[in-house]
Amino acid sequence: MRYIKHLRLTDFRSYAELDLPLSSTPIVLYGANGAGKTNLLEAVSLLSPGRGLRRSKTEDVARRRTDAKVAPAWGLTAQLSGLDLDVKLAVGQVAEYPRRRQIRIDDKTASGTELARYMTMMWLTPAQDRLFTGPSSDRRKFMDRFTLVHSPGHGFASLRYEKLRSERNRLLSEGITDHFWYDALETDMAEHGAKIARARAKTVNLLIAELSDWPDSAFPRAKLALEGEAELHAQNGWDEDDIALFIRDNLAKDRALDMRAGRTLKGVHKTDFKIHHVDKNMPAADCSTGEQKALLISLILAHARAQAAEAPILLLDEVAAHLDRDRRAALIEHLTALGTQLFMTGTDKNLFEAFNGRAQIFEVSGGQLNLQA
């Protein structure tokens, strides 16, 4: 398994400086609210592509000093080990350009796509408790992060699609009618849209297969569905060229309608991800808050099991606090069985008693971590 064996933070959020040796076992962070537990999880999350679990801007995470000034730049490095691997990952702010983030792998400049080849990561935070009742865009982001694990190129395809869609929207809003411009944009949109659809379908199909064999446990079975035409065609076995042709033809057909709206109304940017509580035969959106949390945990566990060979690093923020003692114990047994490195936070050390010596436990206070016996 791959795991972070050493983590160093400099001027990140509440941490002026932190040097933290770690083992491959689960890592527990407990302490009062505001102690810096989630800040540490956020730092770890930035070792994967994207903007991390809080989706913060690069310039917003530098430490605010006691003199009220902001540190000139933040940085974090991690030594990744395991499976005959020993590699140094670094992410940080460029002091001369505060909005720019730089990624380095073994001291060489790298891209987010290259970073994804080394680091497989998933997280669950209190903000995701509203996933089933919030806007479809939140569920797309949730599923797209899962998809990145199985298709590292998914991030690039999504960025290209969004850039092309923005350009098409500009033409539509300005009333441009030159079909040559649209033909070129829509052909490229269709190519990247087909890649997105295929990658999402692959991920959901893997989850469906994993959940079909879901054991009886404290966490409910979930039924998943993608609500998007291109993704449905991908799930039905269409090849990428046929999906691209389908997307391109629909974009061309809808130009007049889109022009009246001033934006692209249909496409993979509108796909929704639906979850159903199997045992209660009820949409997740209609379930209780506790049931929704349990369904979320089921999805995280199923996804981790579906990619067990990659040993994903899990970041679970304040998850245990919302579960009764039996469910906490069940969750910890599930997590331990995965055999992967994970970080969990909570306000009380007793929330993690079921680890029973199988975890590194740190008390977090004032930007410092103290290893507990």
Q: What is the pLDDT along the chain (373 residues), one digit of tens a residue?
A: 889 999 999 999 999 999 999 999 999 999 999 999 999 999 999 998 888 999 999 999 999 887 778 889 999 999 999 867 899 999 999 989 989 999 999 999 999 888 888 888 889 999 888 899 999 999 999 999 889 888 888 989 999 999 999 999 999 999 999 999 999 999 999 999 999 999 999 999 999 998 888 776 788 889 999 999 999 999 999 999 999 999 999 999 999 999 999 999 999 999 999 999 998 999 999 999 888 988 999 999 988 888 867 778 999 999 988 788 898 999 999 899 888 899 999 999 999 999 999 999 999 998 899 998 6
Q: Within this chain, do residues 158 and 201 fall inside the same structural domain, yes or no?
A: yes
| Domain end among 306, 332, 360 | 306
pTM of the model: 0.86
**By residue range, what is the domain housing residue 263?**
129-306
Nearest to 9 by CA among 89, 88, 76: 76
Same domain, 21 and 82: yes
The rounded Cα 339 to chain-centroid distance in angstroms is 20
Ramachandran angles phi, psi of 112, nearest 5°: -60, -35
How far apart are the C-alpha atoms of 26 and 336, rounded to whole Å? 8
Of 114, 124, 70, 67, the residue nearest 90 (C-alpha): 114
**Residue 283: which CATH number?**
1.20.1050.90
**Same domain, yes or no: 184 and 194:** yes
60 shares a domain with 100: yes
Quote the CA–CA distance of 282 and 372 in Å, as a whole number. 43
Instruction: List all residues 6 or more positions away from 368 whose beta carbon is below 8 Å from its beta carbon.
Output: 18
Within this chain, do residues 64 and 1 fall inside the same structural domain, yes or no?
A: yes
Cα Rg of the chain (Å, integer): 22
Tell me, what CATH number does 366's domain have?
3.40.50.300
Among candidate residues 286, 306, 326, the one where a domain is terminated: 306
| Shared domain check, 177 and 36 | no
Indicate the number of domains in the chain: 2
Same domain membership, residue 214 and residue 282: yes
Q: 306, 328, 356 — which closes off a domain? A: 306
